Structure 1
Amino acid sequence: MRKIIFILSIVFLSLSFIQCNSNEKALTKKLEEMAVNLNMSAPVMLDQYTRFEEASVIQGNIFRYRYTVLNTSNPDSLVENGLQSLKENIEKEFSSNPDLRIFKENNVTIEYVYNDENGRTIRSLQITSERFR
């Protein structure tokens, strides 16, 4: 009897692991498709100072948006001054836009990376799924 319970336990754990692994792969694939679709229009100027460069998925199902700050002598200050407004807009969009439900439902972290014209990272901002519930 113990042997049967032990074998059933191993089978159950193995199936659980396989199921979790396949769900993770499906999510990664969906996120990668989203990034590819976004990248079809990149690079694109969003405003006078900000160019969207690309979206990508990095390890741990982090969805990364990469931007370049242009046309300013002080990109650090420009990003820092707009940071609070940026956070509020991001959180509002992710909490109200049903198209972004995949991020909330799957605990995906969103990362925004701002670089200057020379490729130096000015600021990296991560928004976890708890913040857009």
Structure 2
Amino acid sequence: MNKLTCTNCAAANSANAKYCSKCGHALPQFRTEINTESVQTHKSGSSKIILGLVLGLIAFGLTSWAVQQIFFAPPSFDKVMMAAASELNKSCPMMVDQYTRLDNTIAMPNNSFQYNYTLVDIDRANVNLDTMRKYVEPSIINNVKTNPDMKIYRDNQTTFVYYYKDKNGEFAFKVNVTPEMYE
């Protein structure tokens, strides 16, 4: 059991006494105080650690996402179409059949891909272009629907434009194949 020592006469007193049993002098009162400063520092230190961990995780997540987007993101479909047009254009002009020559291809805005053809033996003045268009259009639509090489374009809702010129380089007709036509 704890004893209090009187500061006046050095007598031992019980721990809960207020006055010295020998001289009657007031005994010092020792209070057990919780050092709130150290508790607050401890809490404050814990808060700082937790805050640091949370901010570190957020920074790591954002950095990881940015690296993924910059270095590992797949190219946009516009870039895929431009690359395909460039690759096709390397072998142009190219005869598709005895009447048709593919002059070049163009990746157009709004997810459109244009094929530019020349009808090598046809003069627009000597042919009914509406009849020719009605003959060619179903074949083009069927090709877009069934050609496995066109799947990536179908999946990305690409509009195909087939632009035809006659042997003199004058506009003959154009066929647009929209996603609604090949789905």
Regarding TM over 0.5, the answer is yes
C-alpha deviations, 1:51-109, integer Å up to 9, x for none? 11001111112100001112234467265333233222222222222321122111110
Residue of structure 1 equivalent to 2:142: 92
- 1:81 paired with 2:131, answer yes
Matched AA of 1:108? T
Residue of structure 1 equivalent to 2:171: 121
Return the offset for 1:38: 1.1
Instruction: Calculate percent identity across the aligned residue pairs.
Output: 29
Q: Which has the higher helix share?
A: 1
Residue of structure 2 equivalent to 1:45: 95
Matched AA of 1:58? M
Query: Structure 2 CA distance, aligned partners of 1:106 and 1:128?
Result: 11
Residue of structure 1 equivalent to 2:120: 70
Answer whether contact 2:123 2:168 (CA < 8 A) is retained.
no
Matched AA of 2:141? E
C-alpha deviations, 1:27-61, integer Å up to 9, x for none? 00001111111111100122222111001111112
State which structure, 1 or 2, has the greater radius of gyration over its C-alpha atoms.
2
Greater relative contact order structure (CA < 8 Å, 6+ sep): 1
Residue of structure 2 equivalent to 1:55: 105
Matched AA of 1:55? T
Answer whether contact 1:76 1:122 (CA < 8 A) is retained.
no
Matched AA of 1:86? V
Residue of structure 2 equivalent to 1:111: 161
Runs of 5+ unmatched residues, structure 1: 1-18
111-120 vs 82-91, greater mean Cα deviation: 82-91
Answer whether contact 1:103 1:129 (CA < 8 A) is retained.
no
Query: Structure 1 CA distance, aligned partners of 2:128 and 2:88?
Result: 25
Matched AA of 1:89? S
TM-score norm. by structure 1 comes to 0.71
Q: Alignment length, in residue pairs?
A: 111
Query: Structure 1 CA distance, aligned partners of 2:156 and 2:133?
Result: 26
RMSD (Å) for aligned C-alpha atoms: 2.3
